[in-house]
Amino acid sequence: MQFSSELLESAVQEFSRLPGIGKKTALRLVLHLLKMDASAVQGFGETLIRMRQEIKFCQRCYNVADADICSICSNSMRKQELICVVESIREVIAIESTQQYNGTYHVLGGVISPLDGIGPDQLNIEGLVNRVQKEDVQELIFALNPNIQGDTTIYYIQKKLHGLGVKVTTIARGIAFGGELEYADEMTLARSITNRQPVESYVMNR
């Protein structure tokens, strides 16, 4: 692309560095910014700069936070003895959006994946073991993606927690609501039969 303005060109280049945004999309976004008020664009830029500079990670659960401790950890209305272990902030936001979970989180910052060079030392596992040892934790709920990396991570952490007397669970796997049995993969279908639930609890949960 050929630009007659260097200001325009550098703005397009900045946008096209973001993931999933090519040159054409970047140009569309920049032309939109050009139509916006100068004050609105200033607000946009300053919000991003301020977010990156001032955002913190909770010292307890490694979730994003505006202070040293995140709003979930410092909320006394939530069950502090319940920890949901997730891979990243993304899962925290997804679970929070269900408005069904009332415990705390622990963000690992990834999963054990030797192929990608990620070992247990690069994850926030030490902090999780510390929390279980020092706090009165009753249950750990693993909400990791159902693949080898996730399963390895669960296995590793479970061994680390051996003897600490904490209940360890994982979120239910099975046929999704609205999913057709016919199109479900064999493993999911097989496991959902093995882990069948009494009808009363099913009806109650609906």
Chain residues in the site for a second copy (CB under 8 A): 1-8, 10-11, 14, 17-21, 25, 27-34, 36, 38, 41-55, 63-66, 70-72, 88-90, 92-93, 96-97, 99
Q: How far is the CB of 145 from a second copy (least distance, A)?
A: 16
Cβ proximity to a second copy: between 21 and 175 the closer is 21
Q: What is the dihedral of CA 56, 108, 98, 135, to 10 degrees?
A: -80
Closest distance between a second copy and the C-beta of residue 61, in Å?
A: 9
The Cα angle at residue 94 between residues 138 and 204, in degrees rounded to 5: 65
Q: From the CB of 187, what's the least distance to a second copy, in Å?
A: 27
Q: What is the DSSP letter of 88?
A: S
Q: Which is nearer to a second copy, 89 or 189 (CB)?
A: 89
For the chain, the first-to-last Cα distance in angstroms comes to 54
Q: How many CB atoms lie within 10 A of CB 123?
A: 22
| Minimum distance, C-beta of residue 108 to a second copy, in the bound complex (Å) | 15
Query: 164 or 171: whose CB is closer to a second copy?
Result: 171
What is the residue whose two structure tokens read 């916006």?
36
Structure tokens of 151? 């399963």
Complex with a second copy: residue 23 or 167, whichever CB lies closer: 23
For residue 73, how far is the Cα from the chain centroid? 16
